[in-house]
Chains A and B, each alone.
Chain A
């Protein structure tokens, strides 16, 4: 074979590199998928044991209001009613999203439309710093500032959904803001130019053109923030009061799935009903974050069609 033919038939150096590179990246992604599957399997196997091994009725788990797995009720069934935690988790999540949204969207508009320079120099670093503050520290500030504040204004003990909402509001603000900024930046420039050329004011352009075009992205950001709020544990646990009671108002002690899970898991013996019941809560959390993800995808798809 002559050398030219040989060179043509042999894989080039670049092709080899390409193959190797693709394999490396494929390996990385598979590793991550394996880890996720392992966690999912692990949580599911323990979480489902409550229903299969301990024979707890799924409907009772979701609808009963007494959480005391070690104690059996009059009919001999263990008291594993997760409803108070489910309500608590949704309560803090929805409320904090409701409060955070106007702030986040406002800040994002400020950074992209009103004062990009000031936004980039001041607001951007501020938002990134908020991400970096550890949740332990958020929790202690909540405990030493927010809780007494609520106690003085509204009475009661100060612990409850309202305190949890305040802490979570600050914690999810950066997530929602930075995703909204991305969504606003993705709106093509000629949309704005067209609106301004038609004689629209800046605010008219923002509210009727830019925000509308960026809506799917903003919604995705909000749902993403809610997913974060739903899974946050340490900070919420410190201010919500951890009482497995159906919340009657915003300032009575309540609990969330994560707070009960985090505080109880070390005190239970692996394989016992008490332990399995906590893993069922973890499974519920996992399913919820799956639901949030599907919601994000659905919103993104809706936005695409327009």
Chain B
């Protein structure tokens, strides 16, 4: 065979591989949606869950998932930004920095159940937050930080060095250069990473079972005082999330329609992650256009 034929063959194989990956995802999505979509209705999305009767919804779980997501992102994003800036802009290449990087990467490959139990002993018991959204958000932060930090650092590093030199030449300090020049340039990458992180947080179950808890007490959606226990905004109430709910009804659920609820909830979860992905793209592009000359 001559080189040209091999070239064509290789190209075909590569197209095939790309095709297979797309098919895998399409069939995964198709399977989940076909099984789940028929169970999704307005009632299903808003009604509270039932512990042993049929006809339960996922309203409270859905709200909990979103609230927990917002709260944990509020805590982890500034931390990851700061840490990423340090690693990309200030850290010297020495043994200490190496150790810090290794430490962060180890945190990212830790099984989430270990993070959950650590959160249980430290946040729930030691700090006295109890089974609560706050404990859950802190546990999720620990689980999310390594990836976010890495993402911020990578995005900052990809910004060309000329930009830094230009900033410094204008008489800006290093910090000002980072804030006003580098971060806006790196923003699309950072936002993509954050929204992908949000998707992971949204689907996380094992770290939350022992921290945010597995019960979803009824909420009073007219009470927006965060100090009241029935208020949806109270960060100290226990909150079962959607992913935990799926896990729970599949493991110990005795509702007659457990399979349907789980299929529907899985579909909602996937749709939410899908939405995050689309949002990531749209928002990332828009902010990038606004903050740079592009």
Q: Tell me the residues in window 128-184 of chain B with beta carbons closer than 8 Å to chain A beta carbons.
A: 142, 145-146, 149, 171-176, 178-179
* Residue B67 interfacial (CB < 8 Å): no
Check if B121 sits within 8 Å of A37, measured CB to CB.
no
On whether A33 and B103 interact (CB within 8 A), knowing A103-B20, A132-B196, A133-B270, the answer reads: yes
On whether A29 and B100 interact (CB within 8 A), knowing A122-B22, A131-B196, A137-B270, the answer reads: yes
Q: Cα distance A253–B264 when bound, in Å? A: 30
Which of A118, A134, A232, A234 has the largest count of B CB atoms less than 10 A from its CB? A134
Q: Residues on B close to A: CB < 8 A?
A: 3-4, 6-7, 10-11, 13-15, 17-18, 20-22, 24-25, 28-29, 31-32, 78-83, 85-87, 89-91, 98, 100, 102-107, 109-115, 117-118, 121-122, 142, 145-146, 149, 171-176, 178-179, 192, 196, 199-200, 202-206, 243, 246-247, 250, 262, 266, 269-270, 273-274, 276-277, 281
Cross-interface CB contact of A261 among B81, B111, B176, B196, cutoff 8 Å: B111
Q: How far is the CB of B153 from chain A (nearest CB, A)?
A: 10
Residues of A contacting B: mostly: helix
Check if A202 sits within 8 Å of B7, measured CB to CB.
yes
Cross-interface CB contact of B205 among A15, A128, A234, A294, cutoff 8 Å: A234
* Residue A119 interfacial (CB < 8 Å): yes
Check if A39 sits within 8 Å of B110, measured CB to CB.
yes
Q: Which residues of B lie under 8 Å from residue A145 when comparing CB positions?
A: 31
Q: Which residues of A lie under 8 Å from residue B111 when comparing CB positions?
A: 231-233, 258, 261-262, 282, 285
On whether A32 and B205 interact (CB within 8 A), knowing A17-B175, A114-B14, A132-B196, the answer reads: no
Q: Which residues of B lie under 8 Å from residue A38 when comparing CB positions?
A: 118, 122
Q: Which residues of B lie under 8 Å from residue A22 when comparing CB positions?
A: 86, 90, 174-175
* Residue A26 interfacial (CB < 8 Å): yes
Nearest A residue (CB) for B24 = A170
Q: A28-B80, A134-B200 are in contact. List 17 more A-B contacts (CB 8 A).
A: A14-B172, A14-B173, A25-B90, A28-B78, A29-B86, A29-B87, A32-B83, A38-B118, A107-B18, A126-B21, A128-B192, A134-B273, A137-B266, A140-B262, A203-B11, A282-B111, A293-B106
Cross-interface CB contact of A290 among B6, B31, B106, B146, cutoff 8 Å: B106
Q: Tell me the residues in window 42-60 of chain A with beta carbons closer than 8 Å to chain B beta carbons.
A: 42-43
* Residue A123 interfacial (CB < 8 Å): yes
Cross-interface CB contact of A128 among B18, B82, B102, B277, cutoff 8 Å: B277
* Residue A193 interfacial (CB < 8 Å): no
Q: How far is the CB of A13 from chain B (nearest CB, A)?
A: 9
Check if B175 sits within 8 Å of A18, measured CB to CB.
yes
Check if A137 sits within 8 Å of B118, measured CB to CB.
no
On whether A25 and B82 interact (CB within 8 A), knowing A32-B145, A231-B111, A261-B111, the answer reads: yes
Q: Cα distance A261–B116 when bound, in Å? A: 12
On whether A27 and B269 interact (CB within 8 A), knowing A17-B175, A136-B203, the answer reads: no
Which of B81, B82, B90, B246 has the largest count of A CB atoms less than 10 A from its CB? B82
On whether A28 and B82 interact (CB within 8 A), knowing A33-B103, A123-B18, A297-B102, the answer reads: yes
